Amino acid sequence: MDMAGELSRLNDRTIMAQYGPISLTIQAWDPSGPDLALAARAGEYSFGILPRIARARDLFRGKGVPLPDDLQRPFREPVLENMCTAVEAVAQPGLGPMAAVAGAVADEVAQWLYRAGAVKAIVENGGDIALYLAPDQRAAVGVRTSLKDPYPRKCLEISGQLSAWWGIATSSGTGGRGLNRGLAEAAVCVAAGTGAGALADAAATAVSNSCFVESEAVQAVPAECLDPETDIPGILVTAAIGDLTPEEIDAALDNSRGFAQSLVDREVILGSYIFFRGKDRLTAGFAEVAAPLVDL
């Protein structure tokens, strides 16, 4: 794979690392405060991840849960293993390992920062975030309720006292980087524990997929019509959403919230927040179980 990575400094605490389709923002803290040099080293480390997982797109093409035996797991590559573990935990039919790739890459970089001595690490990969927080560390993560809105309208308050590892991911029905079967403008999932970035990523895609209602206003096409190189050929994905009735919007949100709550009940994720056309849904006890969600 012949390409060069590029590092740039966004501000006094943030490095952007770009390599092919991977675009990361990386923040790291040592015990004395923000460590831009450590974040830059993590960015350089990230350049080696894509070549390690480059075969994944073809390997996982058309593969959904349950994963077939021909994937020959366990992998020697931890990023691929993390992707598979995440989609198996979410267990939505048709959901393949590529649904967790962005979160799994963020996980890998956050874990590298932890091994390098960071007491706090925040790695974002296109809206999918992996965090490491020592027990005395906290983080505030902004949440956009629509891809059309350039600014976060909500904020999640995350504490290292509850968990060292966190994943926060957002998926949408249309307008995002990937293809999706649902309608939600934003489906946010919060997970904790090892591999939480990949888990939140897969869960957010599945919850967004579930934000659906049968309607003449929803245009769905086979995924390969929008992306000939898609890893989910033959799966219908949302191409356009017209005018829906209030009842249809409520039904879509209720379907999504129901699936998200099942993930919470199975202890796959801590909570989910879904937003669509000015209405929203939260899983039960979101603020207490997942994280406080405050207005900005």
Count: domains in the chain: 1
Q: What is the pLDDT of residues 256-285, one digit of tens each?
A: 999 999 999 999 999 999 999 989 999 999
Mean residue pLDDT of the chain comes to 87
What is the CATH classification number for the domain harbouring 140? 3.10.520.10
- Residue 1 in any domain: the answer is no
Q: What is the pTM of this model?
A: 0.89
| H or E segment to which residue 139 belongs | strand 138-143
On whether residue 101 sits in a domain, the answer given is yes
pLDDT tens-place string over residues 168-225? 999 876 655 556 667 888 889 999 998 999 999 999 999 999 998 887 766 766 666 6
Contact 265, 239 (CB under 8 A): no
Estimate to the nearest angstrom the gap between the alpha carbon of 103 and the chain centroid.
Answer: 5
**How far is the C-alpha of 117 from the C-alpha of 122, rounded, in Å?**
14
Is 127 contained in some domain?
yes
- Is residue 102 a part of any domain in this protein? yes
Measuring CA to CA, which residue among 203, 198, 186 is closest to residue 273?
186
Q: Are 105 and 214 in contact (CB under 8 A)?
A: no
Residues of the domain holding 238: 6-295
Give dist(CA 104, CA 97) in Å, integer: 10
Residue at 63 is within a domain: yes
